[in-house]
Amino acid sequence: MATQTGLPLFVLGQGTDPHSEKGVDCPGELPEASDPGLVERARKAKAALGDRLFVLGHHYQRDEVIQFADVTGDSFKLAQQAAARPEAEYIVFCGVHFMAESADILTGDAQRVVLPDLAAGCSMADMATFDQVEDTWDALADAGLAEKVIPVTYMNSSADIKAFCGRNGGVVCTSSNARRALDWAFERGEKVLFLPDQHLGRNTAVLEMGISLEECVVWNPHRPNGGLTREQLDGAKMILWKGHCSVHGRFTADAVDDVRRRIPGVNVLVHPECRHEVVLKADYVGSTEYIIKKLEAAPAGSKWAIGTELNLVKRLGQMFPDKSVSFLDKTVCYCSTMNRIDLPHLVWALESLVLGEVVNQITVDADTTHWAKVALDRMLSLP
Ligand code: 13P
Ligand code: SF4
């Protein structure tokens, strides 16, 4: 079976019915997905709101939503763009919860950030809770190590984890600036506590900075002292949180071998949230924005197998019909939480704004905002 793009239609049934919780998050009427007037309704609502509205769309969003984004981007670009629109009264964030929180932190008090479906979370962000991180910091302090450790959190974390990093001399990073954030951190400390994605931390440290695998240890928040011995902690440069992306973590090294057998001459391009052994076997690694730019610059006729979220890979097939684009691993799924944002939820959010009702507003409290902004601003001013 193939999609319209010619890409194999491996896993279209994954995830939950986006309308199964109809009415739970949506006071008022959530339009039926089958309503043929949805595109027109979204257009009309957007036009009515004019410059008061700014719609941000992450690359993993569905096409039906992406068509209404004023700007599309990776998490870094979207954070920059949110910060650069002080005139927009409403920022509608087509992405996931941690992105909308970051937008609220980076925008002015009068600006309202809306996430069209509150169920659009991120399983990776949920793998590090504030209490767990505080307990970890206490354990590092008891071991006499906290002063030597700089906390660095991936953008894919909750606002209170970002605030924790701001308060404790740390920084936020994204997949497009992790190397620069780690350089910044190692100028200020001997070790890094990297939250919550062990793979991005390990891949950046080992492949870009010459840190050895032995110097990367994994802190398991469910075990006393992270499950690490004193010796392991003393020898570590990178203390990696035991978290991962449930989408990218599913790509395998075997899939890379298999695609090379099936498509001679294929270039394998993956996101750094993939496991280390996958990234080691790939030809190129980078953020979603990097992946798009790489395809843009590639010669016509070149062949690519991409290891990232399926909505983006399908779109790449449409954007670059002169190149052959395949999905790296047939067992990998859409990001089901990114997929929660669909056209009915977007129409509902926009039409509510037209009626003067701000639905699904994402707000971060003042203290968390202050400290999270410290860590985000450090990232935004990295060289
Ligand atoms: P980037 O947007 O930094 O490429 O990250 C991908 C991702 O998983 C977002 O949730
Ligand atoms: Fe979270 Fe992974 Fe989905 Fe990104 S792709 S939102 S990291 S689960």
Instruction: Summarize pLDDT for 186-211 with one digit per residue, the tens.
Output: 999 999 999 999 999 999 999 999 99
Pair 364, 104: CB distance under 8 Å:
yes
Residue 74 Cβ inside 6 Å of ligand 1? The answer reads yes
Q: Residue 27 has what pLDDT?
A: 61
Flag whether pLDDT at 23 surpasses 80: no
Instruction: Indicate which ligand has the atom closest to the C-alpha of 178.
Output: 1
Flag whether pLDDT at 113 surpasses 90: yes
Flag whether pLDDT at 1 surpasses 70: no
Question: What ligand 1 atom has the least distance to the C-alpha of 175?
Answer: 3
Residue 174 Cβ inside 6 Å of ligand 1? The answer reads yes
- 7 CA → ligand 1 middle, Å: 22
Own/partner long-range contacts of 139-147 (Cβ < 8 Å, ≥24 apart): 139/225, 139/226, 140/193, 140/233, 140/239, 143/225, 143/230, 143/233, 145/191, 145/233, 147/189
Question: What ligand 2 atom has the least distance to the C-alpha of 121?
Answer: 6
Flag whether pLDDT at 74 surpasses 70: yes
* Distance (Å, whole) CA 81 – CA 75: 10
Instruction: Summarize pLDDT for 133-173 with one digit per residue, the tens.
Output: 999 999 999 999 999 999 999 999 999 999 999 999 999 99
Q: Whose CA is nearest to atom 10 of ligand 1?
A: 156
User: What band does 333 get if pLDDT is binned at 50, 70 and 90?
Assistant: confident
- The three state secondary structure string of the chain is CECCCCCECCCCCCCCCCCCCCCCCCCCCCCCCCCCCHHHHHHHHHHHHHHHEEEEEECCCCHHHHCCCCEEECHHHHHHHHHCCCCCCEEEEECCHHHHHHHHHHCCCCCEEECCCCCCCCCCHHHCCHHHHHHHHHHHHHCCCHHHEEEEEECCCCHHHHHHHHHCCCEEECCCCHHHHHHHHHCCCCEEEEECCHHHHHHHHHHHHCCCHHHEEEECCCCHHHHCCHHHHHHCCEEEECCCCCCHHHCCHHHHHHHHHHCCCCEEEECCCCCHHHHHHCCEECCHHHHHHHHHHCCCCCEEEEECCHHHHHHHHHHCCCCEEEECCCCCCCCCCHHHCCHHHHHHHHHHHHCCCCCCECCCCHHHHHHHHHHHHHHHCCC
Instruction: Indicate which ligand has the atom closest to the C-alpha of 125.
Output: 2
Residue 245 Cβ inside 6 Å of ligand 2? The answer reads yes
What is the reported pTM? 0.91
Instruction: Summarize pLDDT for 95-110 with one digit per residue, the tens.
Output: 999 999 999 999 999 9
- 204 CA → ligand 1 middle, Å: 15
Q: Residue 332 has what pLDDT?
A: 85
- 120 CA → ligand 2 middle, Å: 10
- 348 CA → ligand 1 middle, Å: 26
Q: Count other Cβ atoms within 10 Å, centred on residue 7.
A: 18
- Tokens for 359, please give them: 């639905």
Flag whether pLDDT at 53 surpasses 70: yes
Q: Residue 334 has what pLDDT?
A: 94
> Mean pLDDT score of the chain, rounded to an integer?
92
Flag whether pLDDT at 66 surpasses 70: yes
Q: Residues for the chain: how many in total?
A: 383
- 173 CA → ligand 1 middle, Å: 11
User: What band does 25 get if pLDDT is binned at 50, 70 and 90?
Assistant: low
CA dihedral 319, 289, 302, 283 (to 10 degrees): -160
| Average pLDDT estimate for 301-317 | 97
Question: What ligand 2 atom has the least distance to the C-alpha of 122?
Answer: 1
Q: Whose CA is nearest to atom 2 of ligand 2?
A: 245
Residue 252 Cβ inside 6 Å of ligand 2? The answer reads no
User: What band does 261 get if pLDDT is binned at 50, 70 and 90?
Assistant: very high
Q: Residue 330 has what pLDDT?
A: 84
Residue 337 Cβ inside 6 Å of ligand 2? The answer reads yes
Give 48's contacts (C-beta < 8 A, 6+ positions apart).
Answer: 354
In sign, the C-alpha dihedral spanning 118, 119, 125, 127 is positive
- 230 CA → ligand 1 middle, Å: 34
Instruction: Indicate which ligand has the atom closest to the C-alpha of 245.
Output: 2
Instruction: Summarize pLDDT for 199-245 with one digit per residue, the tens.
Output: 999 999 999 999 999 999 999 999 999 999 999 999 999 999 999 99
Q: Whose CA is nearest to atom 6 of ligand 2?
A: 122
- 75 CA → ligand 1 middle, Å: 6
